[in-house]
């Protein structure tokens, strides 16, 4: 019941904004009395706090699982991107409220969320730094890389509309993002690859041409 109330509240806050939504709207949408809602949440602010807490907890739990996975750091970084895109797609209402309504939180909770977000970013940065030390990624400024990756992934909440137009699933979006940030979009590496291929073919051709001559030598 608590989860149902919270999910419906997140959906209403997402669609109408926190300030414009009343507990009457929420009770009506749920088909419950306001007393039932008050049995679970003391106030609208309490609901908003619970939405922020659940969102942050989901994000933190996913990141903790990635760190505990024992995967190489570059693979953990991929998992961070997948984790964010999946979270935004699966919990779009919660993430939209999370990204839009921080200013509506009471100051104490706002400070708490800012602290948890900073710790989260530091944890992702530590993964980047381990990947860099392991020689798996090249990175001039780990903090900028983290902000780029999370920005790209979090922004999905702004354009992902399930059921509207052509919808990619979370893993398709994450795969495209991972391919982009791991390999880059410039075709020149591929062009360089083709050049290497041409040199290899030439070499192979020369070796093929040498083989009969060498066979002649080996039978003296």
Q: Which residues bind a second copy (CB under 8 A)?
A: 16-17, 19, 74, 99-100, 103, 135-141, 144-145, 147-148, 150-156, 158-159, 168, 173, 176-177, 179-193, 196-197, 199-200, 203-204, 206-207, 210, 213-214, 216-218
Q: Closest separation between CB of residue 105 and a second copy, Å?
A: 12
Q: 2 or 119: whose CB is closer to a second copy?
A: 119
Q: Closest separation between CB of residue 130 and a second copy, Å?
A: 13
Q: 34 or 129: whose CB is closer to a second copy?
A: 129
Q: 2 or 183: whose CB is closer to a second copy?
A: 183
Q: 8 or 21: whose CB is closer to a second copy?
A: 21
> Residue 26 gets which letter from DSSP?
H
Asked if 88 contacts 160 with a C-beta cutoff of 8 angstroms, the reply is yes
Asked if 171 contacts 149 with a C-beta cutoff of 8 angstroms, the reply is no
Q: Closest separation between CB of residue 38 and a second copy, Å?
A: 25
Contacts made by residues 170-174, CB under 8 angstroms, sequence distance 24+: 170/82, 170/85, 170/86, 170/88, 170/89, 170/90, 171/82, 171/85, 171/86, 173/85, 173/89, 174/81, 174/82, 174/85, 174/86
In whole angstroms, give the CA distance from residue 127 to residue 32: 46
Q: Closest separation between CB of residue 101 and a second copy, Å?
A: 10
Asked if 139 contacts 132 with a C-beta cutoff of 8 angstroms, the reply is yes
Q: Closest separation between CB of residue 176 and a second copy, Å?
A: 5
Q: 47 or 173: whose CB is closer to a second copy?
A: 173
CB atoms within 10 A of CB 86: 18
């Amino acid at each position: 019941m608590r989860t149902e109330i919270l999910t419906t509240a997140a959906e209403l806050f997402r669609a109408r904004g926190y300030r414009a939504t009343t507990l009457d709207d929420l009770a009506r949408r749920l088909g419950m009395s306001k007393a039932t809602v008050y049995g679970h949440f003391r106030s609208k602010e309490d609901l908003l706090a619970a939405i922020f807490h659940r969102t942050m907890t989901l994000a933190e739990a996913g990141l903790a699982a990635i760190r505990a996975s024992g995967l190489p750091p570059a693979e953990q970084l991929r998992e961070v991107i997948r984790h964010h895109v999946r979270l935004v797609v699966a919990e779009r209402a919660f993430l939209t409220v999370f990204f839009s309504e921080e200013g509506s939180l009471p100051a104490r909770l706002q400070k708490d969320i800012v602290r948890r977000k900073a710790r989260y970013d530091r944890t992702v940065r530590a993964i980047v730094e381990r990947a860099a030390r392991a020689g798996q990624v090249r990175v001039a400024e780990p903090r900028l890389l983290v902000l780029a990756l999370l920005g790209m992934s979090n922004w999905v909440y702004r354009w992902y509309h399930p059921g509207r137009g052509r919808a990619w699933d979370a893993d398709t979006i994450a795969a495209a993002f991972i391919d982009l940030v791991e390999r880059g979009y410039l075709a020149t590496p591929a062009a360089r690859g083709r050049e290497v291929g041409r040199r290899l073919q030439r070499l192979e051709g020369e070796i093929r041409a040498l083989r009969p001559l060498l066979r002649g030598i080996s039978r003296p």
